[in-house]
């Protein structure tokens, strides 16, 4: 079902039962600074965090994580280093505290996240044999556009076509003789995968996918980025795609929890 249909309900529940910050001990140690997501090292389902060391001796650094904010915070990691890798099942938010014995940082570090860009009211209509049979994601992942996949002037990421009276979405370069100039992409039904797209090279990635009704579909783009979009209504000549998420960290296969 559409994620955005539940957005306000989920937010209302989160505000009642969840918090903006983790629940953790406090003390007089300095706060951890310059927490960042290492976007070069973060790949697949692994989010790599780095931060500046405190200028005094500490026992370690506590990592706190929530999938949403407000959210239910957990402490998935403790390390003596100033880097930590989270094997995640979705995107999320992170904060860090240092500790020495029973003493903790007075406050939390800055908050960072690895969330995908959300575009929940950007509906596109793909129709076979029309001027809107191809789809192209913007280079920055913030938008998408339709165009004529039959033309070499439009470099589609995917296109829609009818085969034996069935609706299929195809990789942009699936049939270059009829649909020239497209990008090499892969498609996968999200069912069973939750918020983590299949790893590159998985047999679940395909050059085409039949669409019969509402569902989410992962896409592995030629540039190494990952996106997911929602198929809403399916017609005899195409589909409506009302929204999408685009993971702007190249190679990261994680998507959002609302």
Measured CA to CA, the distance from residue 208 to residue 211 in angstroms comes to 10
Contact call for residues 141 and 160 (beta carbons, < 8 A): no
Spatial neighbors of 10 by CB under 8 A, at least 6 apart, are 68, 258
Give yes or no: residues 13 and 106 share one domain: yes
Measured CA to CA, the distance from residue 167 to residue 212 in angstroms comes to 7
DSSP 6: G
Answer with the one of 67, 91, 113 that is the final residue of a domain.
113
Q: Are strands 238-241 and 93-100 parallel, antiparallel or unpaired?
A: unpaired
Residues for the chain: how many in total?
Answer: 258
Give yes or no: residues 128 and 229 share one domain: yes
End-to-end CA distance of the chain: 13
Answer with the one of 88, 113, 138 that is the final residue of a domain.
113
Give yes or no: residues 16 and 98 share one domain: yes
The reported pTM is: 0.91
Domain range for 60 is: 3-113
Task: Tell me the CA distances in angstroms from 38 to 13, 34, 113, 246, one per residue in order.
Answer: 32, 11, 11, 18
Query: Each residue of 177-212: pLDDT tens digit?
Result: 999 999 999 999 999 899 999 999 999 999 999 999
Give yes or no: residues 105 and 56 share one domain: yes
Give yes or no: residues 218 and 147 share one domain: yes
Give yes or no: residues 150 and 90 share one domain: no
Of 185, 250, 248, residue with least CA distance to 218? 185
Answer with the one of 84, 113, 142 that is the final residue of a domain.
113
Q: How many domains does the chain have?
A: 2
Spatial neighbors of 117 by CB under 8 A, at least 6 apart, are 141, 142, 245, 246, 247, 248
Task: Give me the residues of the chain with pLDDT under 70, please.
Answer: 1-17
Instruction: Cite the DSSP H helix spans in 43-200.
Output: none
* Greatest Cα-to-Cα distance within the chain, rounded to the nearest angstrom: 70
């Amino acid at each position: 079902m559409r994620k955005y249909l539940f957005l306000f309900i989920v937010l209302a529940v989160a505000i009642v039962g969840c918090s903006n910050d983790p629940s953790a001990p406090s003390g007089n140690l300095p706060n951890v600074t310059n927490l960042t997501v290492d976007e070069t090292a973060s790949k697949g389902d692994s989010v790599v965090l780095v931060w500046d060391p405190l200028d005094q001796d500490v026992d370690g650094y506590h990592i706190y994580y929530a999938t949403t904010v407000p959210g239910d915070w957990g402490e998935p990691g403790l390390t003596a280093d100033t880097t930590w890798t989270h094997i995640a099942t979705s995107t999320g938010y992170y904060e860090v505290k240092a500790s020495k014995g029973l003493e903790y940082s007075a406050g939390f570090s800055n908050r960072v996240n690895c969330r995908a860009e959300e575009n929940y009211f950007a509906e596109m209509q793909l129709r076979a044999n029309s001027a809107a049979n191809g789809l192209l994601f913007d280079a920055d992942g913030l938008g998408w556009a339709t165009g004529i996949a039959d033309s070499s002037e439009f470099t589609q990421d995917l296109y829609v076509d009818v085969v034996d009276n069935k609706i299929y979405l195809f990789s942009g370069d699936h049939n270059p003789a009829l649909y020239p100039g497209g990008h090499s992409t892969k498609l996968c039904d999200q069912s069973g995968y939750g918020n983590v797209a299949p790893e590159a090279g998985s047999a679940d990635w395909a050059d085409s996918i039949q669409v019969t009704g509402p569902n989410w579909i992962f896409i592995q783009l030629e540039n190494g980025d990952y996106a997911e979009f929602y198929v809403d209504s399916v017609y005899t000549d195409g589909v409506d795609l009302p929204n999408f998420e685009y993971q702007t960290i190249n190679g990261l296969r994680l998507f959002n929890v609302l």
